[in-house]
């Protein structure tokens, strides 16, 4: 006979945090949101620790290279979507990793015979105003000069003017030789009041650039998440079919952490994928797995060697898995069950496997609830899809700007690997929808607001860190009536212009 769990499963919206004692030290400025991304042993530290508890979903409509850079600047990690060719995903990873390596490979290059029109077109394409002029027009050619916006005036020059006529020639450039340290390069930039410093080899071939703005950016983004080479930390999604080809390519491209993208992780397919990675890379390649919704699923993946485990089936805003297949669990209940198993596993083995709550986040305070219930970090799709940096189009719908947002199981994405059960290589039926979400502006501004709410709530609970929140939190179930009471009610609201709604 089937196992029946008579206790209903609950969502985040059915819980509230009860305030605890707040000492004088409990102010948002003192709150640390650092959290482990990957497994570690008792007494040790995780090899990758995030500065904020946020990662972006492995989705076509969410995680491209632009969002990877923007989120890493804030201290989180983006998992670039895997439902594309291996070559394209690896290229996205490499682009994000090279965006700020301290030493940046030039991706805006000209030859002396290029024209002003080509300069303008290249600037529109890349957004970069500093362009290298090399003998063959490639990033590794012999450096002959540099073109910046100070070298030309569109209104006074013909579009067919050759670059050789207005570039700053090599003889007038300040440059450094290959082997110069990043600190030395930055000192040269400051001493000579430069915006960019080209790095060349002994044969005058261009190696890279060091940009002044990257130094300034670091000062403006104190929480940015960097690897040992001062490059942004970037994640990437993999599947349980072509991992033998995809994993090596992503590692070669520089991916810091991988995650198996699957709607249901309690499977032989995930065990085989994790086993292959451990056999070929040992513990050096970090890979998360999931998704699961109970203790059995967590323990299975932890024993298989997952570096973190994702929790959640059917709770995403564009996911209709529960509707089409009748499987899943309320996100809050699933998370509480898995985190309890995580703590028991840690006590038994001395190995801590972080838990990622994936799905079910509707409001900012749900992030705090997820952390209080035991999550080490949350994975967000709809949240990040709204921002400038997501890969989708911004469209005007009835006078309101929206961003396109679709599920990996939708007819548009047709990511059959995510729902793979070992059958034919196709998506037999959809498990996601195609939709719009309200456009919200830049990632940086929105993440700052969301995390300020998280920190403020943590202070209300008397906690200055995520582990302390999990120790001190008091959480209560609420009734339908109290949910209504929690919002504005029994008043006539005004909109921002003062008009009555």
Reference 257, options 412, 434, 80, 409; nearest CA is 80
Which backbone phi and psi does 338 adopt, to 5 degrees? Answer: -70, -40
Kind of pairing between the strands at 143-147 and 131-134: antiparallel
**227 close to 233: Cβ distance less than 8 angstroms:** yes
**170 close to 144: Cβ distance less than 8 angstroms:** yes
**53 close to 43: Cβ distance less than 8 angstroms:** no
Residue 371: asked if its preceding bond is cis (omega within 30°), the reply is: no
**316 close to 381: Cβ distance less than 8 angstroms:** yes
Whole-Å CA distances, 479 to 20, 130, 457, 476: 21, 59, 21, 10
Helix (H) or strand (E) holding 377: strand 377-380
CA atoms within 13 A on the CB side of 49: 12
| Class of residue 321 by CB neighbours under 10 A (exposed 0-12, middle 13-18, buried 19+) | buried
Give the span between the Cα atoms of 191 and 178, in whole angstroms.
19
Q: What is the CA radius of gyration of the chain?
A: 25
Q: What positions carry a catalytic annotation?
A: 319, 418
Give the span between the Cα atoms of 197 and 217, in whole angstroms.
16
């Amino acid at each position: 006979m089937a196992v029946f769990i008579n206790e209903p499963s609950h969502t985040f919206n059915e819980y509230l945090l009860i305030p605890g004692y707040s000492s004088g030290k409990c102010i948002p400025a003192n709150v640390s949101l650092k959290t482990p991304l990957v497994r570690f042993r008792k007494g040790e530290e995780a090899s990758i620790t995030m500065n904020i508890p946020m990662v972006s979903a492995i989705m076509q409509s969410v995680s491209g290279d632009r969002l990877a850079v923007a989120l890493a600047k804030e201290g989180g990690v983006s998992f670039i979507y895997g439902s594309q060719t291996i070559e394209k995903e690896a290229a996205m990873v490499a682009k994000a990793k090279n965006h700020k390596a301290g030493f940046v490979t030039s991706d805006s290059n000209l030859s002396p015979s290029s024209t002003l029109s080509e300069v303008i077109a290249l600037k529109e394409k890349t957004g970069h105003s500093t362009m290298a002029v090399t003998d063959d027009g490639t990033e590794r050619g012999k450096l002959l000069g540099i073109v910046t916006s100070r070298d030309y005036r569109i209104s006074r020059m013909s579009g067919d003017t050759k670059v050789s006529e207005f570039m700053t020639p090599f003889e007038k450039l300040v440059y450094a030789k290959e082997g110069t340290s990043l600190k030395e390069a930055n000192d040269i930039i400051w001493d000579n009041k430069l915006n960019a410093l080209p790095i060349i080899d002994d044969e005058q071939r261009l190696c890279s650039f060091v940009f002044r703005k990257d130094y300034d950016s670091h000062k403006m983004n104190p929480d940015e998440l960097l690897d040992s080479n001062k490059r942004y930390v970037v994640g990437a999604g993999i599947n349980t079919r072509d991992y033998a080809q995809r994993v090596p390519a992503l590692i070669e491209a520089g991916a810091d952490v991988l995650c198996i993208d699957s709607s249901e992780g309690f499977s032989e397919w995930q065990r085989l994928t994790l086993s292959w990675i451990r056999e070929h890379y040992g513990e050096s390649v970090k890979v998360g797995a999931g998704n699961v919704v109970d203790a059995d699923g967590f323990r299975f993946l932890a024993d298989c060697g997952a570096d973190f485990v994702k929790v959640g089936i059917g709770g995403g805003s564009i996911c209709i898995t529960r509707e089409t297949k009748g499987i899943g669990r309320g996100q809050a209940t699933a998370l509480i069950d898995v985190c309890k198993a995580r703590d028991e596993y840690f006590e038994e083995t001395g190995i801590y496997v972080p838990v990622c709550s994936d799905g079910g986040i509707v409001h900012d305070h749900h992030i705090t609830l997820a952390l209080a219930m035991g999550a080490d970090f949350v994975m967000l799709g709809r949240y990040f899809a709204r921002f400038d940096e997501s890969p989708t189009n911004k469209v005007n719908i009835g006078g309101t700007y929206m961003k396109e947002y679709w599920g990996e199981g939708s007819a548009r994405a047709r990511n059959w690997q995510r729902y793979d059960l070992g059958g034919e290589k196709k998506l037999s039926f959809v498990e996601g929808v195609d939709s719009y979400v309200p456009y919200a502006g830049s990632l940086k501004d929105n993440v700052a607001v969301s995390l300020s709410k998280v920190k403020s709530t943590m202070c209300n609970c008397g906690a200055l860190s995520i582990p302390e929140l999990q120790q001190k939190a008091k959480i209560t179930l609420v009734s339908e009536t109290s949910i209504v009471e929690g919002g504005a009610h029994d008043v006539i609201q005004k909109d921002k212009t003062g008009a009555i709604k």
